[in-house]
Amino acid sequence: MPIIPIRTEAPLFYSDALDAFIRLRLKQAHSVIAGHGVDELLTTPIEDQIDAIVAQFQLVVPKLREDLAHSDEPQETIVDMNDYCRQISVPSARYQVRVPFEGQKKLFELRHLNYYPSFPCAIISDHELIISLVAYNITADDIDKEIDKIISEVKQYLEWQRGQVAAFNKELRDSPRTKIEERKARILAPKRIAASLRYPLKRRADAPLTYVSSELRRKIVPTVRPSKGVTTPFAPEPTIEEVEYQHILKVMDGMALMMERSPSTFVKLGEEEIRDFFLLVLNGYYEGGATRETFNGAGKTDILVRDCDRNVFIAECKIWGGGKLFLEAIDQLLRYLTWRDTKSAVLIFSRTKDFSGVLHSINNTIEQHPHRKRGAIIEGETRFRYVFGNPDDHNREIIVTVMAFSVVPPPIARPSRTGDTGS
């Protein structure tokens, strides 16, 4: 009962070594970083650069979809055989089974360190593993066993690849970060030295001036971040360090918790009155110079920190009115934030008893926003951190922390009835 697999030009998992292919692919990923222009490297967020490299070079081990496998109509064929030193032609049939797969077909060619003495044979199309057999004088059970054997071998080879590919994908995300940071440091180091020379650099007519920090009661230390798109040159910009950002959030968090604990005092206040309480507390920590207002209202913006006439922190205070109004608050915030890495916050005050439902709605709603890039990072039971892209330039990243608080009025005590002395 002979069954003859139809052989391709080369068996599966045989052509090239997987480890050599991985080393080459990682080298190609690093060459992409080396090929970036200076402005592109400095102005594109590192996470975006890494995401682009991962999308281009990551490997996905194929997964066979045996549940979707199907067979073609058998085809008549002739097999030439040697029978006791004489050549004969035997009428036979060709059987073909197609097994769809998800993943990259290139991996069917790559040889792992582990392998069987023989390699499985099949044809690989873009999305199908095609097993072809020629047989005569056989039963359906014979065909099934042979196909199962080939599929089992293919799955074993793929399983051997899986660990090595997973390690590569992790390195593909980790090592480019180091390469990017090292190259950025090499580029920025001479820029800093040049800026410290007694001889000033000649400025282009269209180059923005560097900033001078505001004199603040609690000093905000500016750091340099790129912000322009890849079509314009890199320029330093004002922002605030993470430690200062966390301090501002902590101050606002403490104020909001006081509101939660004394809801009857604040339950009748509108958004503007709530904002004024936050301004009062924040101005106890931060004070602008004679010509610079550090915290103040700007248009419809509730709370902001200004440094050299640029907004480096903005917060919006909103009473919860549903997902639609919440998304509008995010849009409003993004319109005011124009510098990358500018820190911001949205404070949500809920007057509904179903506060758990409000938290669930906040997280579900914000995921629908077209400019959300990453998050949520959970920083507390009711505090969530997101990264957004500026609507006008997706390279400009904005950190948005959403802080939610429950301000529900206490139940009204019923007056005791006359003569009710209790039990």
Check: CB of residue 351 under 8 Å from CB of residue 318. no
pLDDT at 171: 93
Stronger pLDDT, 335 or 350, i.e. the higher one? 350
pLDDT band (50, 70, 90) for residue 23: very high
pLDDT band (50, 70, 90) for residue 68: very high
pLDDT at 219: 44
pLDDT at 87: 76
Q: What is the pTM assigned to this prediction?
A: 0.54
Check: CB of residue 110 under 8 Å from CB of residue 60. no
- Selection from 104-108, 177-181, 350-354 with the highest mean pLDDT: 104-108
d(CA 97, CA 109): 20
pLDDT(7) > 90: no
Q: What angle do CA 122, 124, 129 make, to 5 degrees?
A: 70
- List pLDDT tens digits, range 297-312: 444 556 776 655 566 6
pLDDT at 169: 94
pLDDT band (50, 70, 90) for residue 385: very high
What is the residue extent of each domain of the chain? 3-179, 242-406
d(CA 237, CA 227): 7
Mean pLDDT of 223-227: 42
- List pLDDT tens digits, range 269-322: 777 777 777 777 777 666 543 333 445 444 455 677 665 556 667 888 888 888
pLDDT at 165: 94
pLDDT band (50, 70, 90) for residue 222: very low
Average pLDDT, the chain: 77
Question: Max Cα separation, the chain?
Answer: 120
From residue 135, how far is each of 58, 88, 92, 131 by CA, in Å? 40, 15, 6, 13
Check: CB of residue 385 under 8 Å from CB of residue 375. yes
pLDDT at 168: 94
